[in-house]
Structure 1
């Protein structure tokens, strides 16, 4: 869909307006039009987010029937792969939300294909060191003192996950390429088909052919590959991409350093936050009743990760809207998009929080029949509801960061919020004040709260006229004449 369908032209160039209007000064029709648009975009984003989340989860479900040792090894390997590979790939791909989104808003359509090619080259090269790290997963776990059998199982699962890192990287590029064009229907269809295919692939490799956890890991790579092929075919033949994809070009392998200047901070933004939650699991293992604490933490993290899919969808939506409008020089519409997205996510997290609290025992029973674990999870659930509110706010505001190209600043905010406030608070509350696993969550809420508040202050104090000028300068400084090679 074209950008023209999503924003009305201003009567005069917004870059001549010296001061942005307050949100209450906007025409109510503009606000409702933006609200309707964001709901239309957020729905597909949320569906795609849930479906992508289901890939690794489905494999673990099949592995769960193979025994406790196999499940423990695969779970550890999945967590390790997320920390060292998947979240880094996803973060690097986030740079395309800035570059492609602003280029699309500025009608520099061919640059979307160039930016995507650069991202593909970078991510394929990044996949090599990640593969080497995954190849030695078992040995690293053994060195760190983990049980030998579990380390062996984790190492085996990580070996078979290696092929998945390359299609996963390509998929992140394709998703951002289509996302920034507001072209979401093919993403939903391809991801939905790949998810169904993944279930069948897992059943065949794990249950039918008896390949065990190796088959479950390999099915992840195959399913990601299927998704990539479907989107490749769509991008190649679809008329909706004929202006943004004109074939491979020599420019697609040039200025990789320029792409990394935005891609590395974008990756660090994601990784710094993701690593914090992994630290919580490690810290829970040092508590007096580690089995109870790690069980609670596992269920809590799963719950929060699942709930976060919705704010993540809203974050992608506002990233696309802000980048498109800034690239077009329409700073007023970018500002509207930010406040509408914040209003939507505040409503959503409050509703989900109430549901989590009201259904806390029912939800805990879905994971386990152990009365002690159910009781503990129920006790922690109100804290998780507060955590969900903070995560929702920072999720949308992080989307604003990506849309504006503030990744370097976002990295510094994440570093300070989680590593100077969040983790130290968690350690003090847990091990000094003896609050147990509840202290871990309260501590991390302190970090996410500082994160959300910092980004909110930055956003409210933003000069949107200046941001539009920066976006247009970024787009036009990177515009080149293409020489296609295919």
Structure 2
């Protein structure tokens, strides 16, 4: 990283060997301390890295650890629903997989992508101590996402016809549609949750969300068992409980924001300013959505292509189990993705180029090591992991056969999501969207289709080709991040905050 060794203003060292910040130290003081250490040429290189690493690891894990818990628990909501559905029968498992990955990820990717605009703006504004801006960004984003939920609802209503049009079997499409109908309330829960989530994360307020999500998971498991098995609502009951659980998370988090002292400067109440600049804010949100949608839809297409294979039920069952495992472990990388975005955006907003570059190195290295370790665990347990989802031996053998590709996916997921978090923290969404189009849709999908259908490699061929696209994208992002001039990024951040500033000072309560 250029800015770690070169550039930046030299500041004399006033630090002792103990890098632990005092308990009364403010976030800005901690960030400035890190920048001072990285800029101090009087300290030996090893000592400088040692002190900087100690501070950065504390800052990083303060966000990453509870973020991993939040995303992991939230994914357990989805995975437990998949498990409840799977034990109803193989058709129900295939339907839940198709409904979740084939339809539900459409809204998830779109709304989460639009919400990442809040992540960029709130993170940089908080780093620059422009706290009054965060609440307005939250409200603007929620309004736009709720409006976006209306056309998505129409897609959900006609999901059966859409799936059949895409070539899915009538039986699986009909069952999947029943599951999808129960997910309609979840659309608007996503629309409220993602801006709230990014608003809190940008301030490194993550632990409360972890507690809320964990408590909700317990309620979710109990209600799922009652509605699916005891009352007998089946797939519809499973998806309705999933929607309710997301709304519990949304309402509880918003109550925390309103009541917490930690948000008193960033949430000052509802304001008319939330309705200003909506067209321009939509453009920014749309570019963010394109970046993330191209990623989430990529694996959605993997499932849809698999549904076109011979014996699609077996292929979907085995692939859905692998995708569920991937998604679960992926939540660790997503937690580090959130931490990378927060750390980079905060440091850029605070005007600390060296700290931003150093944060990227640390978070990428740690996430990669975790990815490699988990890939090894999956290979050791390859013959047993499927039995958590189904008792079928045929499906278990198919899952075992896919596990080498699963391991490679986990290794790539140790790097790629973190680099995407860096991109969001910097506001590179448009550039990454272009890279995603080329790597995913020009290389990955055609290559996967050729291997899967032309050469008859089936699900393994489709997945292998699409992994090639992911690998190319990861290499490009690594190179671009390595070549980044972080001082230039600081200047871009200042211009962005000036463009998106809240007019007339702090937001007025209504």
Q: After TM superposition, is the score higher than 0.5?
A: yes
Does the CA-based 8 Å contact 2:91-2:313 persist in structure 1?
no
1:105 touches 1:327 (CA, 8 Å); kept in 2? yes
Q: Which residue of 2 aligns with 1:32?
A: 54
C-alpha distance in 1 between matches for 2:35 and 2:306: 58
Q: Show CA shifts across 1:184-212 (max 9, x none).
A: 11111111122122222323433444433
Q: Deviations over 1:98-152 (max 9, x none)?
A: 0000000000001010100011000110011111111111233344554444433
Relative to structure 1, the CA distance from residue 64 to residue 240 in structure 2 (aligned partners, 3 Å threshold; closer, same or farther) is same
C-alpha distance in 1 between matches for 2:392 and 2:87: 18
Matched residues in 2 for 1:373 and 1:70: separation? 14
Residue 346 of structure 1 contacts residue 393 of structure 1 at CA under 8 Å; is this kept in 2?
yes
Report the equivalent of 2:462.
Answer: 440
More divergent stretch after superposition (243-252 vs 296-305): 296-305
Contact 1:206/1:212 (CA < 8 Å) preserved in 2? Answer: yes
The number of residues matched between the two structures is 479
Unaligned runs of 5+ in 1: 18-22
1:3 aligns with 2:30: no
Cα deviation, residue 167, structure 1: 1.7
Tell me the distance in 1 between the aligned counterparts of 2:56 and 2:335: 16
1:81 aligns with 2:81: no
* 1:6-55 Cα shifts (integer Å, max 9, x gaps): 4134788x9xx9xxxxx989542012221232133211111111111122
Tell me, yes or no, if the aligned pair for 1:384 and 1:441 is still in contact at 8 Å.
Answer: no
- Asked whether the 8 Å contact 1:390–1:452 carries over to 2, the reply is yes
Instruction: Report whether the alignment pairs 1:201 with 2:236.
Output: no
Task: Tell whether the 8 Å contact from 1:318 to 1:400 is kept in structure 2 after alignment.
Answer: yes
Distance in 1, matches of 2:376 and 2:475, equals: 22
Q: Does 1:92 align with 2:142?
A: no
Q: Deviations over 1:201-234 (max 9, x none)?
A: 3234334444333332222222222111211111
**2:113/2:292 contact within 8 Å kept:** yes
Matches of 1:449 and 1:76, distance apart in 2: 25
- Say whether residues 1:63 and 2:85 are aligned partners: yes
Counterpart residue number, 1:361: 383
8 Å contact kept, 1:328–1:472: no
What are the Cα deviations for residues 344-383 of structure 1, in whole angstroms up to 9, with x where unaligned? 0121111111111122112234344444443343233223
Structure 1 residues 291 and 220: CA distance shift in structure 2, 3 A: closer
Distance 1:131 1:345 in 2: 36
Unaligned runs of 5+ in 2: 1-24, 40-44
* Residue 448 of structure 1, CA deviation: 0.8
RMSD: 2.5
Q: Determine helix, strand or coil for the equivalent of 1:8.
A: helix
CA contact (8 A) 1:142 1:151 kept: yes
Task: Provide the residue aligned with 1:20 in structure 2.
Answer: none
Distance 1:478 1:239, change over 3 A: same
Compare 420-429 and 165-174 and name the one that shifted more.
420-429
- Asked if residue 173 in structure 1 is aligned to residue 181 in structure 2, the reply is no
The answer for the alignment partner of 2:7 in structure 1 is: none
